[in-house]
Amino acid sequence: MFLKDAICTQEETEILIEITISNLRADGDIDERDFLDRVDVLGKLGYTVIISNFSEYYRLIDYFSHYTNGDIGVTMGVNNMLMVFDEKYYKDLSGGILEAFGKFFRNGMRVYLYPYKDPETHELLDSSNLKVEENLKELYKYFKHNNRIVDITNYNPEFLEIYSREILRKIACNIGGWENQVPEGVAEMIKERGMFGFKNELSLKQFS
């Protein structure tokens, strides 16, 4: 989708996975092991990982704009999109959310929105039924109608049934079944290195 929108080739495009330390805190401190585990897994999958301390997306776009004059696209899920439209994150800006959006949607930047399937209601959430605060609805419509917020449509529906928090819970509690819900080679890596709190059966027996 991005290649078509930006009119560029794969060779001209750099895919970066950003992890911010501001979202990886436990009890006020950074969980370094969890942080490094995530970086290692993404590295094994062949992705280039950028580690930042940006708590707002507009700061990330501002950073990238210093290194490229080309088009920038950001892929995010529905929950992250709702955070983007939460005014509490922009209280330190004199122009509030409008100033933040001016920086975020700069130079034709687009958001590619990955849908979310509610595990209880099974409702599929995307840009067409995303619910933002009443006073921000027209602002949201502006960006959507001008193709600055675009739905990802070429996804695998089966993946919508996979929830990362549930996988992490199963790993930490030694509950099987998660192995087939992660990319090839990742399960072996997690087990061999005891990542994300994984403990093999032998270790569990030793402490029982």
* Torsion 50-53-55-56 (CA) sign: negative
Mean pLDDT value across residues 60-70: 91
Backbone angles phi, psi at 200, to 5 degrees: -75, 170
Angle formed by the axes of helices 32-44 and 186-193, to 10°?
Answer: 140
Report the alpha-carbon distance of residue 16 to residue 18 in Å, rounded: 6
Q: Residue 46: is its pLDDT beyond 60?
A: yes
Q: Residue 168: is its pLDDT beyond 80?
A: yes
Per-residue pLDDT band for 204 (boundaries 50, 70, 90) equals very low
Question: Which has the closest alpha carbon to 74: 98, 88, 58?
Answer: 58
Report the alpha-carbon distance of residue 58 to residue 44 in Å, rounded: 28
Average pLDDT, the chain: 89
Mean pLDDT value across residues 140-169: 95
Residue pLDDT, tens place only, 32-43:
788 889 999 999
Q: Residue 202: is its pLDDT beyond 70?
A: no
Q: Residue 25: is its pLDDT beyond 80?
A: no
Q: Residue 50: is its pLDDT beyond 90?
A: yes
CATH of 2-156, one of 3.40.50, 1.10.10, 3.30.750, 3.30.1460: 3.40.50
Q: Residue 54: is its pLDDT beyond 50?
A: yes
**C-alpha dihedral (174, 175, 180, 185), degrees to nearest 10:** 0
Report the alpha-carbon distance of residue 144 to residue 161 in Å, rounded: 26
Question: Which has the closest alpha carbon to 76: 137, 127, 145?
Answer: 127
Distances (CA, A) of 88 to 122, 133, 142, 144: 29, 12, 21, 22
Whether the Cβ atoms of residue 173 and residue 179 lie closer than 8 Å to each other = no
Domain ranges in the chain are 2-156, 162-208
